[in-house]
Amino acid sequence: MIEAVLEDAGEHMDRAVAHARQEFAGVRTGRANPGLVEKLPVDYYGASTPLQQLASFSVPDARMLVITPFDKGAMAGIERAIQDSQLGLNPSNDGVAIRLAFPPLTEERRKEYVRLVRTKAEDGRNAVRGARRDARKDLDALEKDGDISADDLRRAEGELDKLTKRHEAAIDEALEAKTRELLEG
């Protein structure tokens, strides 16, 4: 029973770390990165569809992202979604592909993005702690019901704490990498 609780908590924590990393990818650096636009909702024949399902992405150089739609009919919708996205990017359409040029970031903008990433990291850590809290409740309930002993509970809590620290460290590591990426000129 303890293993099931710990396994479930580990899965929740893994998802929280993956979500935090995905959120980090959506924060713009001076570099072209498909992660910024791949989740954008595009109006495609009346349905809101993520851009990643409508096009392929390539990065020919550090400041250019090329989006090639699978269906040329989606070109206008993709352009509109990018313009409406508040990313500050102007799409350039050559009839075959959409090019996004990424201007260099100002120092002030970089610091603003670092603050944003730190906030997203804290949200990730809170999700990990929430999974820990839920697992603690489950373990306490097992002990209260007499399914496990107090010693088993203490050992399980120790394992849970190690699991929590490992996942928080993974978020901190991803935060550190993103911060370095944002601050390099």
CB contact at 8 A, 54 and 71: yes
Mean pLDDT computed over 85-106: 84
- CATH 3.30.1360.40 boundaries in the chain: 34-101
- At 11-46, the pLDDT tens digits run 999 999 999 998 888 777 767 778 888 888 999 988
- 125-181 pLDDT per residue, tens: 999 999 999 999 999 999 999 899 999 999 999 999 999 999 999 999 999 999 988
Kindly indicate whether the domain formed by 2-25+106-183 is annotated with CATH number 1.10.132.20.
yes
Q: How confident is the model at residue 67 (pLDDT cuts 50, 70, 90)?
A: very high
Query: At residue 185, does pLDDT exceed 60?
Result: no
The structural architecture, per CATH, of the domain 34-101 is 2-Layer Sandwich (3.30)
Going by C-alpha positions, the residue among 163, 172, 86 that lies closest to residue 124 is 172
For 119, the token pair is: 């906030």
Say yes or no to pLDDT of 63 above 90. Answer: no
Task: Name the CA dihedral angle for 110, 112, 113, 119, rounded to a multiple of 10 degrees.
Answer: 150
Closest CA to 179 of 89, 117, 106: 117
Pair of tokens at residue 73: 């009919």
Whether this model's pTM surpasses 0.85: no
Location of each CATH 1.10.132.20 domain in the chain: 2-25+106-183
